[in-house]
Amino acid sequence: MERAIVEPVYKEIFPFWNEIAEADRDYICQNSVSVTYEKGAGVHDGNECSGVIFVCSGSLRLSMLSDEGKDITLYRLHKGDMCMLSASCVLKSITFDVFINAEEDSQCYVISGPAYAAVSERNPPIKIFSLEAAVSRFSDVMWVMQQILFMSMDKRLAIFLTDESARTGSDTIVLTHEQIARYMGSAREVVSRMLKYFANEGIVEVSRKGIHILDKKRLRKLAL
């Protein structure tokens, strides 16, 4: 890509940008591409080094797949987020497979994994940044595992609805029961049953338009 197009973005997200050589900045820009993923498209299947992904618009979902074929959402990436776990050639200590799909039409900048790895080897600040970025995401993954293993379903759903409302700035969650179940690593029937309970308690209203939060105070209390 032309450096003038992508450099303003990289200056914003990479704290090391002004510390590395001009030639390395050029090399990263030259080995960057702009990619548009349609909703539902596979972005990364865990088997290759897809590169470092920066989300300009849209939403990507990272998941793991069990031997039985059940997938668990690890976290989602939205505008302004970056993914290092798709660049296995950069972080060789990551030995588990993650899968990335586009949750909606998404436009991303992708830096070639081998190119980023080559520059990283010459610049310790890049390697440190990459490790810190990966570690910060492991905190998200551990939070997901903690919820699945140790929290009741009503608390997990309350946390999800509260977080989603805060993220979107809306009291209406425009997601299907199937989507919520996938994000939570649960079954659609379980989510539907719990939403029905919340509705009977006057906490939410469920309709074809989505899930409208009626009582934020009670929902937050359940999430604690």
| Grouped pLDDT means (10 residues each) for the chain, 224 residues | 92 94 96 96 85 95 82 90 85 76 96 94 93 86 87 95 95 95 91 95 94 95 92
- Strand, helix or coil for residue 129: helix
Strands 106-111 and 52-57: antiparallel
Return the number of other C-beta atoms located less than 10 Å from residue 183's C-beta: 20
Q: What confidence score (pLDDT) does residue 168 get?
A: 92
Helix (H) or strand (E) holding 173: strand 172-173
Q: HSE-up of 158 (CA within 13 Å, CB side)?
A: 20
| pLDDT at res. 218 | 95
User: How do beta strands 106-111 and 99-102 pair?
Assistant: unpaired
The secondary element (H helix, E strand) that includes residue 128 is: helix 124-150
- pLDDT score of 195: 96
Q: Tell me, what's the pLDDT at 170?
A: 95
Asked if 1 contacts 32 with a C-beta cutoff of 8 angstroms, the reply is yes
**pTM of the entire predicted model:** 0.80
